[in-house]
Amino acid sequence: MTTWEYATIPLLIHNTKAILDQWGADGWELVQVVPGPDGSTNLVAYLKRPKDDA
């Protein structure tokens, strides 16, 4: 059975692609993007990747 680890990261609107590309290169898969807290203009990304059980 696959086990997962998760990360929550802030996304800056003007640099979203570069941020997600970097995390993707490290093996993270984007699960969801939601608005930041308190109506901020930033976004929050939730990511996951298989946990290395070795």
Mean pLDDT for each 10-residue chunk of the chain (54 residues)? 95 91 97 86 92 78
Query: What's the pLDDT score for residue 17?
Result: 93
The domain limits of the chain are 4-50
What is the pTM (predicted TM-score) of this model?
Answer: 0.83
Residue pair 51/16 in contact (Cβ under 8 Å)? The answer is no
Which residues sit opposite 54 in a β-bridge?
A: none
Query: What's the pLDDT score for residue 54?
Result: 60
Query: What's the pLDDT score for residue 46?
Result: 98
Percent helix / strand / coil, the chain, rounded to 5: 30, 45, 30
**7: which residues sit within 8 A by CB, 6+ positions away?**
23, 28, 46, 47, 48
Look at the domain 4-50 and name its fold. Answer: Alpha-Beta Plaits (3.30.70)
Query: What's the pLDDT score for residue 41?
Result: 77
What is the rounded CA–CA span in Å between residue 35 and residue 54? 35
Query: What's the pLDDT score for residue 21?
Result: 97
